A and B are shown apart, each in its own frame.
Chain A
């Protein structure tokens, strides 16, 4: 059922078994797992069902360090969350992404790829993806025209991606959620504070407010915070009455290790003869699966690289495309115009006769970095919550990895005589660790409540439970210990479903 929190009596007490804070991909996926159960689920959404500027304003915050997108436009604050404008790119993390790598400080998860496999398969359904198949051979069997670039051995491999339609959670799941008798969706219910017991070992309630001046209290047995990486950290840090440094922040980890994917044009691939390279081609709302070039675990170890992939865009098209960092502005109308223009340029691409030159566009994980972090500003939003400040900071490892990735692709292409690779100017000087003005991210916010078995090294445990607090869980990409190369939505959905299974066992009293 749906309740507008602006229209109920002020200071209402709302009670349930499970309280989910946030209704994006994670929050809705969590709620869906409780459909038709005997448990009363309170789903809290700060906004309504549509985009509203005053709701977005609650996400406004300062950014320092590496230039970043305006925070108020990088996430959507309404039912469905940022799935309202995501592009649907999905792929699984590689086994290496979960491992501790001695050349990547702070790497390693307390779970591995196999632990997530069954949940990836379930997440596919939420995201309207195809079969849980990421082997290139499966897709080549379906379409023999998906021919690979000629690589010798497996130093470079074709990492498959699948594309969601993209599923807009707000549209697709609204009726299901609203009609569910045990799911109580409250809109205009911004959580402004999480209140713990005296020694901060368990959560008692959360306070919700809205711009109409109403304030309510929500009590539950289990609390799941699923507001996105920046807001998750902000909420924990701002909830500091029982824990002066913020909830779960006894070891000063909340907000740290903010990660993005560096998404940046990096090199050119020149073929000896034109080719369509359909396997690597992507067309909005048409392509179901495609490959990106990826580096094997062995080569990542040998050259001490972060994990990253390269997508191919016909060079004549790519040269006309502006950088992401320049098209995404605080002005929503201008951003929409820029995106339409970008789409139009993209539609010019892919000539039937093929192309001789392609831009290699990187998506590479950011190394976990405690200095890349979210903190609280002194300025407060309209509901009295301190705004978030994001300091985005890289390490030398990111640039080293970009160079390494393209040297390896260049060498492998050289072995087969398929063509040559040219690194862009900013990658040519090995002693230069600066970044060009067109450096951008993928709007992928990760880290900030990272997962680690040791409370000194992370905020949540392998079940996404906040260390030291019995009934507080974080859901979403904020739990990532490392970022891997793929867009985060598939993995965060899988991780959320895994958390739901854990909670179901817990509330049954089996744990």
Chain B
């Protein structure tokens, strides 16, 4: 339901996010899926996602790398399709919140996973 809603919404309200993501990605939909914090992107604009990503990278220099972030986000699941990736990451976001794996970036209380997604987005966009 949430996923269907997002896909419908993304054609309109979330277009601002989807478009720059697609433009910034050399590797198409897989990267887009990994770098898109689903729920957070329903709430904020791409500028905020980018700023959060930059803030995360500034505080986590060792992770400031596309491959490292992708590895941290996907682990051994790189072969998954777009939908499966998004589902896995959404579950991981919820698990982060449940386990207290959170971080405050630009004031937003975020899960570590979605913070890394923002970071990856900011790299892809640059």
B38-62 interface (Cβ within 8 A of A) = 39-40, 42-44
B71-126 interface (Cβ within 8 A of A) = 93-94, 96-98, 100, 102, 104, 106-111
Inter-subunit contact B108/A420 (CB<8 Å)? yes
A402-428 interface (Cβ within 8 A of B) = 406-407, 409-412, 414-415, 417, 419-425, 427-428
Inter-subunit contact B43/A414 (CB<8 Å)? no
- Select the residue from B106, B107, B108, B110 with max chain A CB neighbours within 10 A: B107
Inter-subunit contact A417/B39 (CB<8 Å)? yes
Inter-subunit contact B93/A414 (CB<8 Å)? yes
Inter-subunit contact A414/B94 (CB<8 Å)? yes
Partner of A420, one of B96, B98, B109: B109
Q: Flag whether A223 is at the interface (Cβ < 8 A).
A: no
Contacts of A93 in B (CB 8 A): none
Inter-subunit contact B43/A415 (CB<8 Å)? no
Known: A414-B93, A414-B97, A415-B94. A420 touches B107 (CB 8 A): no
- Select the residue from B43, B93, B94 with max chain A CB neighbours within 10 A: B43
What CA separation (Å) do A424 and B110 show in the bound complex?
14
Q: Flag whether A392 is at the interface (Cβ < 8 A).
A: no
Residue on B with the closest CB to A272?
A: B42
Known: A415-B97, A421-B108, A421-B109. A410 touches B102 (CB 8 A): yes
| CB of A300 to closest CB in B, whole Å | 15
Q: Flag whether A270 is at the interface (Cβ < 8 A).
A: yes
Inter-subunit contact A422/B2 (CB<8 Å)? no
Known: A272-B39, A410-B102, A417-B2. A422 touches B108 (CB 8 A): yes
Partner of A407, one of B39, B96, B98, B109: B109
| CB of A365 to closest CB in B, whole Å | 22
What CA separation (Å) do A412 and B97 show in the bound complex?
7
What CA separation (Å) do A84 and B39 show in the bound complex?
47
- How many B residues face the partner with a CB closer than 8 A? 20
Interface size range of chain A in the complex: 20 to 34
What CA separation (Å) do A508 and B83 show in the bound complex?
79
What CA separation (Å) do A412 and B98 show in the bound complex?
8
What CA separation (Å) do A424 and B109 show in the bound complex?
11
What CA separation (Å) do A422 and B110 show in the bound complex?
9
Contacts of B110 in A (CB 8 A): 414, 420
What CA separation (Å) do A152 and B99 show in the bound complex?
13
What CA separation (Å) do A152 and B98 show in the bound complex?
9
Contacts of B94 in A (CB 8 A): 414-415, 417
What CA separation (Å) do A409 and B102 show in the bound complex?
12
Known: A414-B93, A414-B109. A423 touches B102 (CB 8 A): no
- Name A's interface SS: mixed
Residue on A with the closest CB to B110?
A: A420
What CA separation (Å) do A356 and B94 show in the bound complex?
21
Inter-subunit contact A423/B104 (CB<8 Å)? yes
What CA separation (Å) do A406 and B98 show in the bound complex?
15
| CB of B28 to closest CB in A, whole Å | 27
| CB of B118 to closest CB in A, whole Å | 12
B1-18 interface (Cβ within 8 A of A) = 2
What CA separation (Å) do A419 and B94 show in the bound complex?
12
Contacts of A412 in B (CB 8 A): 97
Contacts of A414 in B (CB 8 A): 93-94, 96-97, 102, 109-111
Contacts of B96 in A (CB 8 A): 414
Partner of A411, one of B40, B100, B106: B100
Interface string of A261-287 (1 = CB under 8 A from B): 000000100111000000000000000
Inter-subunit contact B97/A411 (CB<8 Å)? yes
Residue on A with the closest CB to B37?
A: A420
What CA separation (Å) do A428 and B103 show in the bound complex?
11
Contacts of A409 in B (CB 8 A): 109
Interface string of A437-459 (1 = CB under 8 A from B): 00000000000000000000000
Residue on A with the closest CB to B93?
A: A414
- Select the residue from A409, A414, A419, A424 with max chain B CB neighbours within 10 A: A414
Partner of B109, one of A271, A410, A417: A410
Known: A272-B39, A414-B93. A423 touches B2 (CB 8 A): no
Contacts of B106 in A (CB 8 A): 422, 428
Inter-subunit contact A411/B102 (CB<8 Å)? yes
Residue on A with the closest CB to B95?
A: A415
What CA separation (Å) do A414 and B110 show in the bound complex?
8
Partner of B43, one of A267, A420, A423: A420
| CB of B9 to closest CB in A, whole Å | 10
Partner of B107, one of A271, A415, A417, A428: A428
Known: A356-B43, A422-B106. 12 other contacts (CB 8 A): A407-B104, A411-B109, A414-B97, A414-B102, A414-B110, A415-B97, A419-B39, A420-B43, A420-B108, A422-B107, A423-B104, A423-B107
7 A-B residue pairs with Cβ-Cβ distance under 8 Å, sorted by A, are A272-B43, A407-B102, A407-B104, A415-B94, A415-B97, A420-B44, A422-B107
